[in-house]
Amino acid sequence: MAVLRPGARLRSVTCSTEVVVVRAGGEVDLRCGGQPMVDVSALAATAGEPAPGFDGGTQIGKRYGDEETGVEVLCTKAGSGSISLGDVVLNVQGAKPLPSSD
């Protein structure tokens, strides 16, 4: 369990997934491929493959979130693991298309 900081970069230890925290949402157990995510600069060894059930993969540019805690992360690098809070796999947040103003 850890309190995330908006803007913090985390990576998976089971695949190439990287995320940046968009909304913190209190103390959470953020995992990818079934293993806790670590700071992007952490030297922790990789922990094999994503576990079964946590191997659906991530997509670059998609946001993964949980309504209950309010936590939301943005995938900045795709990988083969799934992002979860504990055992609960997070869904891609529905995009809310806005007309472009730039």
Partner 1 sequence: MILEMAADGLAERVAIGPLDGGISFAELGRRSRRAASVLGELPGEHVVLIDENSLAVPIGLFGAAIAGKPFVPVNYRLADDRLGAIVTKVAPAVVICGQGVPDRISGIEGLEVMERHDFLARTDDEALEERDGWGCDPDAVAVLLFTSGTTGDPKAAVLRHRNLASYVVSTVDFGAAEPSECAIVTVPPYHVAAVASVLSNTYGGRRVVQLETFDPERWVRTVRAEQVTNAMVVPTMLGRILDVVETDRLGLPSLRALSYGGGPMPVAVVERTLRVLPHVDLVNAYGLTETSSTIALLGPEDHRNAVASRDPEVRARLGSVGRVLPGIELSIRELDGTAVPTGTRGEIWVRGEQVSGEYVGSTVTDDEGWFHTRDAGHLDESGFLFVHGRLDDVIVRGGENLSPGEIEEVLVSHEGVESAAVVGIPDQEWGERVVAAVVPLPGASLSEEELRQHVLARLRSARTPERIKIVNELPFNENGKLLRRVLREELAADFAF
Distance, in Å, from the CA atom of 45 to the CA atom of 101, rounded to the nearest integer, reads: 44
- The answer to whether 38 contacts partner 1 (rule: CB under 8 A) is no
Query: Which segment (25-33, 43-51, 70-78, 80-88) binds partner 1 by CB under 8 A?
Result: 70-78
Query: Which residues make Cβ contacts (< 8 Å) with residue 12, sequence separation at least 6?
Result: 18, 32, 33, 35, 37, 50, 79, 81
Q: Which is nearer to partner 1, 20 or 47 (CB)?
A: 20
| Of positions 55, 57, 77, 89, contacts partner 1 by CB under 8 A | 77
Q: Are 10 and 39 in contact (CB under 8 A)?
A: yes
Binding site for partner 1 (CB under 8 A): 6-7, 9, 20, 22, 60-63, 74, 76-78, 95-102
